[in-house]
């Protein structure tokens, strides 16, 4: 029971501090899950995060579920998931109740514009951390440049609407093949 409470509270701290979506939560997850509790290494956390992106649903919820399940089975997964969702549920409910009355006030609009800038910085920080953990050799750099180029070009051109899942599956297959051919380290 103590472990379930720890999972709930740890992920509630992550949930209450996560602004800007899944990418912005990486530094908070690292501090809480890796540094504070030792429930996963940085590499394991990035693996959970990557799988969480590939599976349907919210990245934060998927990642919490994976880590909770690893630590305490099905009940751990449920406790962690409830922990990461609970703060957002409360905050969104409160904001929804009052935002409609204040949304047109210039100071509120300015505050939200500034929050978007802050979220961009948090996401950029997460990208740098992911970069350091993922791009470790020439094969990974080539994959990064290829997928980045394709996603930017295809998004700008609006010719193809390709799901990110296909990029992830492509990279998984490429990683297997590059390792088999000796281009990437094992």
**pLDDT tens digits along 95-153:** 888 877 888 889 988 998 998 898 888 888 888 888 887 888 888 888 999 998 888 88
Q: What percent of the chain has a predicted confidence (pLDDT) above 90?
A: 31
This prediction has a pTM of 0.63
Average pLDDT, the chain: 86
Tell me the two tokens of residue 156.
């700008």
Name, in order, each residue with C-beta under 8 angstroms of 101's C-beta and a sequence gap of 6 or more.
none
User: Within a 10 A sphere around the Cβ of 22, how many other Cβ atoms?
Assistant: 19
Confidence of residue 7 (pLDDT cuts 50, 70, 90): very high
**Length reported for the chain:** 186
Q: Is the pLDDT of residue 22 over 70?
A: no
In the chain the beta strands, taken as DSSP E runs, fall at none
Given a cut of 80, whether residue 156 has pLDDT beyond it is: no
pLDDT of residue 3: 95
Residues 25-80: tens digit of each pLDDT: 788 888 999 999 999 998 888 888 888 877 887 888 899 999 999 999 999 999 99
Averaged pLDDT, 88-93: 88
């Amino acid at each position: 029971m103590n472990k379930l409470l720890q999972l709930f509270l740890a992920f509630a701290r992550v949930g209450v501090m996560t602004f800007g979506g899944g990418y912005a939560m990486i530094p908070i997850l690292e501090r809480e899950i890796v540094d504070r509790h030792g429930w996963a290494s940085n590499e394991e956390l990035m693996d959970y995060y990557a799988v969480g992106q590939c599976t349907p649903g919210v990245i934060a919820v998927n990642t919490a579920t994976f880590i909770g399940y690893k630590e305490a089975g099905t009940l751990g997964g449920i406790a962690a998931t409830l922990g990461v969702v609970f703060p957002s549920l409360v905050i969104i409910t409160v904001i929804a109740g009052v935002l409609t009355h204040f949304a047109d006030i210039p100071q509120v609009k300015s505050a939200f514009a500034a929050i978007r800038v802050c979220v961009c910085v948090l996401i950029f920080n997460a990208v740098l951390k992911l970069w350091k953990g993922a791009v470790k050799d020439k094969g990974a750099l080539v994959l990064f440049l290829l997928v980045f180029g394709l996603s930017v070009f295809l998004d700008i051109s609006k010719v193809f609407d390709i799901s990110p899942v296909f990029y992830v599956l492509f990279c998984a297959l490429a990683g297997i093949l590059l390792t088999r051919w000796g281009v990437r380290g094992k």
